[in-house]
Amino acid sequence: TPAQIATYLKIAQDNNLVVTGGSDYHGELKPDVTIGMIEVSSELIDALKDARKRVMNEN
């Protein structure tokens, strides 16, 4: 739900966590969930790329 999304985004922000698009794919255990079902915004993809660059520069 939108409320759940807002809650988890706030948790991630408050704890300096990287937000991902999410995937709850468990194969035959959850046949109603398919890969690619969750849409990811270009802003989220850019944030993931930025986070990767930061991590790579730290190592």
d(C-alpha 30, C-alpha 59), whole Å: 38
> CB 25: neighbour CB atoms within 10 A?
13
pLDDT at 12: 93
Cα 8 to the center of its chain, rounded Å:
10
**Local confidence pLDDT in tens for the 59 residues of the chain:** 889 989 999 999 999 998 987 766 677 887 777 777 778 889 989 999 999 999 999 87
Backbone phi, then psi, for 21, in 5-degree steps? -75, -20
Domain residue ranges of the chain, discontinuous segments joined by +: 2-58
